[in-house]
Amino acid sequence: MDDLLDAIVTDDSPSQISDKIKDILFAKSAEKIDAFRPYVASQTFGEIESEEDEEEEIGEISDEDLESTDGV
């Protein structure tokens, strides 16, 4: 952050200042993503088993519904 302020004070080129801002924002976003990644992984991979169970239940329900219809 001090590098950015120094660049602004010393009148560095706007492209260099922009690059420093982008670097800072990228570093902050990477930290947040790394912190959130375990949560997303557990939610994503933890639900795979439950989705398969739900699909089996849905398949059973739809089979029963088909058998109980009056041919319509």
pTM above 0.95, yes or no: no
Domain extents in the chain: 2-67
**For 25-34, what is the mean pLDDT?**
94
Decide: 17 and 8 in contact? Cβ < 8 Å. Answer: yes
d(CA 7, CA 16): 8
Question: pLDDT of 51-72, one tens digit each?
Answer: 555 555 555 555 555 555 555 5
pLDDT tens digits, one per residue of 32-56: 999 999 888 888 887 655 455 555 5
- Give, as one character, the DSSP assignment of residue 11: T
